[in-house]
Amino acid sequence: MTTTKRGIDLIQDSALNKATGYTAQERETLGLTGLVPDVTETLDLQLQRVLMQLSHKEKPIDQYVYLTNLLDHNETLFYKTIMSDPARFLPIVYDPTIGEACLKFGHIFRQPRGLYLSIEHRGRVKEILRNWPVKDIRFICVTDGGRILGLGDLGANGMGIPIGKLQLYTAAAGVPPKYLLPMYLDAGTNNEPYLADPLYLGLRRKRPPTENLYSFVDEFVDAVQEVFPKCCIHFEDWTGVDAVHLLQRYRDRYCVYNDDVQGTAGITLAGMINAAKIKCTQLKDETYLFLGAGSAGIGLANLLCSALVEQGLTLAQAQAKVHMFDVNGLLESTRTDLVDFQQPYAHPHAPTQSFVEAIRSIRPSTIIGVSTIGGAFDQAVVTAMAEINTRPIILALSNPTEHAECTAEQAYQWSDGRAIYAAGVQFPEVTWQGKTFQPGQANNFYIFPAVGMAIFATQASRVTDDMFIEAAKAVADQVPADLLAQGSLYPQQGNILETEIRTAARVAKLVFDTGLARVPRPDDYEAFIREQVYTPSYASLL
């Protein structure tokens, strides 16, 4: 690698900066002598300093701010740090710490990262996209901040999410960071405290009518096709209705996907596959009851039904196995308040607003929490599941931690140790009556970075649900028998890069098999993926 930058300009470029890692020749040739210490430190030695400095910061949010500052100054060292111990650092740069970071985003802000696209710039979107210095962008992760995690409308504070999501593309699956662009589509916010906060970073106006928002998103999506023709658009943390409808609007024409709809569905499906393995059943043998019928729940239900069809059921038979419960009670055929994408799961049933009553009448073998209501799976819920199932499957997927429907300890205790459990956040191991359980984390970062790497490597023209089903199967297949015996439904996070490389290889094969690839088919899919993987290291700049 060579560069025309010199001196301070080079030091201020986080993608090129080596800090104390420049060679003596680089310091002399590139005008750095005197501007950096007169040493040449290895990346490993620099990592030791980072770890030492982090050890003095006790709160995760302080560690998040430190690592964000490191990324702003030295991208290579940042990824060296994150990828050195994913199990330790992914919860800091993303969930659960990212929730607190978003709530405080305007207050902990240091410098901009990514693009901020305001609805007031309607008609100029192509011009603004071209302000980005990198011209070959392969992924844009974009949010309007409408529903951040389980925290609601955070407006511009939601920019922390696309920044964090794209860091996971690199840290978990090796997608080169130079091809990634986080974006906030600013259409205002209905969050009154933020509108009154002098440090809030977004438009100080209420959100527009849906048709106005969608026409602006149309302009954005169309502009991306011209400015970044190889780009895949990753929609993230839009409101539930918008998430589903925008995905439907673009998915058959452009390379787009929604992680809340498809990624959440994929990782949950992986957990269901392994839960069925533990029970020696198949997915089609189970009955499912969701608490929450928004974009995550519907996306999960739709992907699950596709997987059930693969196992021989008709779509109608698959949908009949899936029941949903929202803030107004069980989705059933007399409800008149349902939106179009909820209708397939509104089955004939007596109306009820009691989740426990729904469990007793439907008799599900699996309950899935995507409600964002902390503690919603209380003792009565778990006990009811344990009464009708020898091995009840309890998936408490809401995050951050305080929004989990129940903790791992509660699930195991209230089910007499019989629950098969996973959460959307990582809970510590639980020992109950002498047996140790390893609760798994149904975190999307097992899925979307691997799918992203497959898309990047194959230059896929579109993204399909089948890619997420294949990713779910690949992740499930990588959990060894000893972990399954301890109740863990997911691979260990410490080896996440290898897990995702293997997952990406399987998804890439599917992309080629379905004719969606825009590069020649390789002989060895895993070797093909490994050739694309980013490794944090310093290259010579001369």
- Annotated catalytic residues are 94, 165
Instruction: Give the position of tokens 């993230």.
Output: 236
**Cα separation of 230 and 181, whole Å?**
13
Query: Residues 178, 179, 180, CA angle at the centre, nearest 5°?
Result: 95
| 343: DSSP letter | G
Residue 62 tokens read as 């302080």
Q: CA 528 to CA 495: how far, in whole Å? A: 20
Kind and range of the H or E run holding 436? strand 435-437
* Separation CA 184–CA 117 (nearest Å): 6
Residues 6+ apart with CB under 8 A from 122: 216, 219
Among 157, 238, 237, smallest CA distance to 191 is for 157
Alpha-carbon torsion, ordered 268, 272, 277, 279, to 10 deg: 140
CB 320 within 8 A of CB 348: no
Alpha-carbon torsion, ordered 528, 533, 535, 540, to 10 deg: 70
**Host H or E run for residue 381:** helix 379-388
- The token duo for 465 is 């649900």
Q: Provide the CA 252 distance to its chain's centre, in angstroms.
A: 22
Cis peptide before 400 (omega within 30 of 0): yes
> In terms of residues, how long is the chain?
542
Sort strands 430-432 and 420-423 into parallel, antiparallel or unpaired.
Answer: unpaired
Query: How far from 144 is each of 92, 213, 297, CA to CA, in Å?
Result: 23, 10, 20
Name the residue among 464, 446, 444, 443 with its Cα closest to residue 501.
Answer: 446
Q: What is the per-residue burial (b if ≥16 Cβ within 10 Å, else e) of 46-56? A: bbeebeeebee
Instruction: State the Cα–Cα distance between residues 350 and 447, nearest whole angstrom.
Output: 37
